[in-house]
Amino acid sequence: MTGGPPAVGRLGFYGAAAGERRGLRRDYARAHGAPEAAGDPFALDLAADDTLRALYLDAECDDGYLRDRNVFDGPIGIEDDMAVLVRYARGATMTSI
């Protein structure tokens, strides 16, 4: 492919600055054990669901990954708005926005 990158993305909705602008930011690092997360539609309550608890909350001691972090807090770095263009060898294209 020529003329630019085959994919682009940006952090547009989540992150502390965007949460402040939209009035969505709440003061907690992770939902588990945080009273400030109560009523937050973006908070993931891992303990409230047996499957989520078994898959994620109970696995924290093994992998150290916290899956219920506040999406409007701190250095959120994953892009939440992405587009990709694929050109196949025979000339066909596909786009995903």
Per-residue pLDDT tens digits of the chain, which is 97 residues long: 455 567 888 888 999 989 999 999 999 999 999 999 999 999 999 999 999 999 999 999 999 999 999 999 877 778 899 898 888 889 898 887 6
Segments in the chain forming alpha helices (H)? 16-22, 50-52, 60-63
CB atoms inside a 10 Å sphere around CB 38 = 11
How high is the pLDDT of residue 1? 43
How high is the pLDDT of residue 5? 64
How high is the pLDDT of residue 11? 87
pTM as predicted:
0.71
